[in-house]
Structure formats: C-alpha cells, structure tokens
C-alpha cells in the first residue's frame, strides 16, 4: 500500500500543483446570495471544492472555524470532507497534542469519524503523545516546527544545548526528531512562509519530509522564497497553503470562478518558480 507521502506526491503530480486550499469558513465573508441558502457554509465549501479540485492537490479545513459554530459546525465539517474528491489529500488543521487515551481519541475523531487523510499536531508533549496518530500508518501528521506568527520565536527559536554541546534552535531539534519518527512515510512538518531562512534549514534537516507552508497571502509570506526553499530535491513535497486569497477572491456570485482563477494563478506562479529552480540544478 502506498505511504501517505507517496499519496501526497501522487496528488501533486496529478494536478501538477503544490496548492493546498485552506477551508477557513467565515460566514460574514461569503457572498450575500449564498448567505440566504439553507446551509450556506456547506454550499459555499462545495462550490469552492468543485471549482478548484482539478488544480490543487489538497484541502485543509481549519477546525477552529467549524468548532465556533457549535455542533452544527461539525456537521458541516463532516459533509465538507465527504464532498472532496478521492485522490485529494484532506488535512485537518487541528494542531492537536495530548497524551495516551486522549491522543487516541483525537486520532480516531480526525481519521475515522471525520475521514481526514492527515492532521496538524503539536510536538510539545513528545513522540509518545503522537504515537496513536503514527499508528495509523496510512494517515499523515504535519508536526508544528516553525510557525508563521510574529511571536513564534519566543519558544521555537530558543537555543537548545544538546549533550554533545551543540547549540541550535528548538525548531531544528523538532525537525530532526520528526525525521526519525518517519518510519512509515507518514510524517511532515509545518513551517511558515514568513520565515524563508528557517525553511531552508528545516529542508536541509528533513530532505524527504513534506512541508506544509502556510502564511502566503494575508500574512504576507514570500512565495518565491517559500517555494525555492521549501521543495525537496525533485521540486516536490512542499504544500503551499492559501485560504482567504482563494476562497474569498470575490465577494460576488462569481466567487467560485474567482477562486478557481486565484488557485490557477497560484499554481502557475509556484510552478514557474519550481521550474526555474530545477533549471538551475
């Protein structure tokens, strides 16, 4: 059976795309006409998915936006996941991290109940806390490494001294450890597009892991540096995430077509950058 990383690579190749669409629903940002639907958010998500599926490789619903809608939001989440075509990678942006039985329950919720292919998780509690996720050998985890927020250095860049006296930032230690957890081809990392230099260092530590890269667009991350520094030696395994810039590309009834245009533009911009990168080699 193909590993998670193989499936991700396959999804990218089929769409010739490193684009991952963040499905971060915000009812107030949706077109007025769809706001009058019986189930506006689900209909909005379905329209976005239908309009973009052939030009992207992954979708990433962020659980917070569904949780803030109460139990009904979780119904919308479940239906949204079901609507995403086979072959696409569906990532639960959940940033979970807990221990023992609880971690097992989170993994079950995300992978079995809601049917995600992968989840973002926090490293702080250590590998044993993520073992229940890793035990789903056909599913993936993306471990938070260097996040895109302005304050991510507070802990992630602390200087860690190892037993042999080497000093390096915490996020590099995380990248190193996660590489050693990747026994089943099911581990990845999260590095923000706002930190292109750190992305280079992480890619060097983890040459074979997929890297999920949020922070393009609203957070003003650097696309060119993110692609150049984020892809593996084959120009693959970087997932460039965009949410608002795609799903709210238009506030009018043409929102789905606008989303498609935005997704294609991002895909093509990324592909130009990675082609140049490969031409240089």
The footprint of a second copy (CB under 8 A) covers: 24, 62, 64-65, 67-72, 74-75, 78, 93, 95-103, 105-106, 108-109, 112-114, 122-129, 144, 147-156, 158-162, 167, 170, 173-174, 177, 219
Whole-number minimum distance, CB 223 to a second copy, in Å? 19
Contact present, 216 and 241 (Cβ < 8 Å)? yes
Whole-number minimum distance, CB 49 to a second copy, in Å? 20
Whole-number minimum distance, CB 81 to a second copy, in Å? 12
Whole-number minimum distance, CB 24 to a second copy, in Å? 7
Query: Rounded CA gap, 48 and 19, in Å?
Result: 14
Query: Rounded CA gap, 141 and 81, in Å?
Result: 17
For a second copy, which is the closer residue by CB, 53 or 187? 187
Catalytic pick from 88, 95, 104, 161?
A: 95
Is residue 228 among the annotated active site residues?
A: no
Whole-number minimum distance, CB 109 to a second copy, in Å? 4
Contact present, 4 and 12 (Cβ < 8 Å)? no
For a second copy, which is the closer residue by CB, 101 or 281? 101
Query: Rounded CA gap, 26 and 23, in Å?
Result: 9
For a second copy, which is the closer residue by CB, 72 or 276? 72
Whole-number minimum distance, CB 170 to a second copy, in Å? 7
For a second copy, which is the closer residue by CB, 112 or 208? 112
For a second copy, which is the closer residue by CB, 130 or 240? 130
For a second copy, which is the closer residue by CB, 97 or 140? 97
Please spell the DSSP secondary structure of the chain, one letter per residue. Answer: ---HHHHHHHHHHHHT--EEEEE---GGGS-HHHHTSSSHHHHHHHHHHHHHGGG-SEEEEBHHHHHTT-HHHHHHHHHHHHHSPTTSEEEEEEEE---HHHHHHHHIIIIIIS--SEEEE--TT-HHHHHHHHTSTTSEEEEEEE-SSGGGHHHHT-EEEPTTS-EEEHHHHHHHHHHHH-TTS-EEEEE-TT-HHHHHHHHHH-TTS-EEE--BSTT-B-HHHHHHHHS-TTS-SEEEEESHHHHTS-SSTTHHHHHHHHHHHHHHHHHHHHHHHHHH-
Q: Which residues are catalytic?
A: 95
């Amino acid at each position: 059976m193909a590993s998670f990383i193989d499936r991700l690579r396959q999804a990218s190749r089929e769409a010739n795309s490193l684009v991952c669409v963040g499905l971060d629903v915000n009812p107030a940002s949706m077109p007025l006409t769809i706001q009058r639907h019986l189930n506006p958010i689900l209909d909005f998500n379905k329209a976005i998915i239908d309009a973009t599926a052939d030009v992207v490789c992954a979708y990433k619903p962020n659980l917070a936006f569904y949780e803030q809608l109460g139990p009904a939001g979780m119904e919308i989440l479940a239906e949204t996941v079901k609507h995403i075509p086979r072959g696409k990678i569906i990532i639960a942006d959940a940033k979970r991290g807990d221990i023992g039985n609880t971690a097992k329950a989170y993994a079950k919720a995300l992978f079995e109940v809601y049917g995600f292919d992968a989840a973002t998780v926090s490293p702080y509690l250590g590998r044993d806390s993520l073992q229940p996720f890793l035990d789903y050998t056909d599913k993936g985890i993306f471990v938070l490494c260097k996040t895109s927020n302005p304050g991510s250095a507070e802990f992630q860049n602390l200087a860690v001294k190892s037993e042999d006296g080497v000093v390096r930032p915490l996020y590099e230690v995380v990248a190193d450890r996660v590489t050693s957890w990747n026994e089943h081809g099911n581990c990845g990392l999260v590095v923000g597009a706002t930190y292109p230099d750190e992305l280079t260092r992480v890619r060097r530590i983890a040459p074979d892991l997929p890297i999920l890269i949020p922070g393009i667009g609203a957070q003003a991350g650097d696309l060119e540096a993110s692609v150049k520094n984020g892809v593996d030696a084959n120009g693959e395994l970087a997932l460039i995430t965009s949410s608002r810039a795609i799903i709210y590309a238009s506030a009018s009834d043409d929102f789905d077509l606008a989303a498609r245009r935005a997704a294609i533009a991002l895909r093509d911009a990324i592909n130009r950058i990675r082609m140049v990168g490969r031409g240089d080699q």
